[in-house]
């Protein structure tokens, strides 16, 4: 385990905006699309003229970005501190798009998720989900909560270090759905949760990126 040079969490408010992107649907944290969602969201934000940086928290993300911190190599007491290092002070209109790890409801990986959630102090988060899954992969006795319950629990946990946090969108791995089923599913989830619902491979992340930029505009006004 790595702790060299990493402080425990201090949790001072930091300038700049962070989006705990796309990491944390309560679904299985394996092959879900969290990293791709974060990368696609970062790319979309920059295409819209925003300042955005992908912040890698896993080994593959570090290979892509050339930097980052592998959270699963950090001792538990220092995960939140590592997340603080990963998302330092920045310009108010800059977005750190932080790759999520694990899942808050996962029986094995929730500790990593919670530390990353607290240390990154996200202004917003994007929940990732695969509607074909009903339980955690390799943990069939642990069913997934509903999306509405997941959003509520993530908000409660994130408000420990940022009381203004909000869910700005749902990213879906819709590979199991036909075009018609995907359109109906996205419309139903968006109507229920009142946030945009996107599949980065099926229409892109434009609606969620626009929601994030709306938060930036709200802070500036």
Spatial strand order of the sheet with 166-172 comes to 51-55, 94-99, 17-21, 124-129, 166-172, 197-198
Residue 65 placed within a domain: yes
CA gap 40, 217 in Å, rounded: 21
Tens-place pLDDT, residues 28-70: 345 568 899 999 999 999 999 999 999 999 999 999 999 999 9
Which structure tokens are listed for 69? 């911190």
- Determine how many CB atoms are found less than 10 A away from the CB of residue 89: 10
Residue 5 placed within a domain: no
Residue 86 placed within a domain: yes
Instruction: Give Cα separations from 132 to 74, 161, 210 (angstroms).
Output: 32, 33, 27
CA gap 206, 209 in Å, rounded: 5
Of 17-21, 85-89, 167-171, 208-212, where does mean pLDDT reach its minimum?
17-21
Contact 83, 119 (CB under 8 A): yes
What's this model's pTM, rounded to 2 decimal places? 0.88
- How far is CA 145 from its chain centroid? 17
Closest CA to 134 of 26, 61, 54: 26
- Structural domain span for residue 125: 17-220
pLDDT, position 8: 66
The CATH number for 32's domain is: 3.40.50.300
Q: Domain total for the chain?
A: 1
Residue 1 placed within a domain: no
Residue 199 placed within a domain: yes
Residue 141 placed within a domain: yes
pLDDT, position 28: 38
Residue 130 placed within a domain: yes
Of 3-17, 40-54, 184-198, where does mean pLDDT reach its minimum?
3-17
Contact 58, 46 (CB under 8 A): no
Residue 177 placed within a domain: yes
Which structure tokens are listed for 184? 């109906």
Query: What percent of the chain has pLDDT above 90?
Result: 67
* Cα four-point dihedral sign 192, 158, 170, 105: negative
DSSP string, 9-32: P-----SSEEEEET---SS-SSSS
């Amino acid at each position: 385990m790595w702790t060299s040079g990493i402080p425990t969490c201090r949790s001072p408010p930091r300038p700049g905006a962070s989006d705990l992107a796309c990491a944390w649907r309560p679904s299985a944290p394996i092959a879900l699309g969290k990293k791709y969602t974060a990368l696609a969201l970062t790319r979309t934000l920059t295409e819209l003229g925003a300042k955005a940086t992908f912040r890698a928290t896993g080994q593959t993300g570090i290979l892509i970005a050339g930097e980052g911190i592998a959270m699963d190599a950090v001792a538990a007491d220092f995960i939140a501190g590592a997340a603080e290092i990963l998302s330092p002070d920045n310009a108010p209109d800059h977005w750190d798009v932080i790759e999520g790890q694990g899942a808050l409801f996962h029986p094995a990986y929730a500790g990593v998720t919670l530390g990353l959630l607290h240390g990154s102090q996200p202004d917003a988060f994007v929940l990732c989900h695969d509607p074909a899954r009903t339980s955690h992969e390799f943990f069939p006795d642990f069913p997934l909560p509903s999306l509405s319950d997941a959003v509520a629990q993530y908000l409660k946990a994130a408000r420990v270090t940022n009381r203004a946090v909000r869910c700005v969108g749902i990213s879906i791995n819709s590979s199991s759905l036909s075009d018609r089923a995907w359109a109906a599913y996205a419309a139903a989830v968006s109507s229920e949760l009142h946030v945009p619902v996107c599949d980065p491979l099926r229409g892109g992340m434009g609606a969620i990126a626009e929601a994030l930029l709306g938060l930036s505009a709200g802070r500036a006004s």
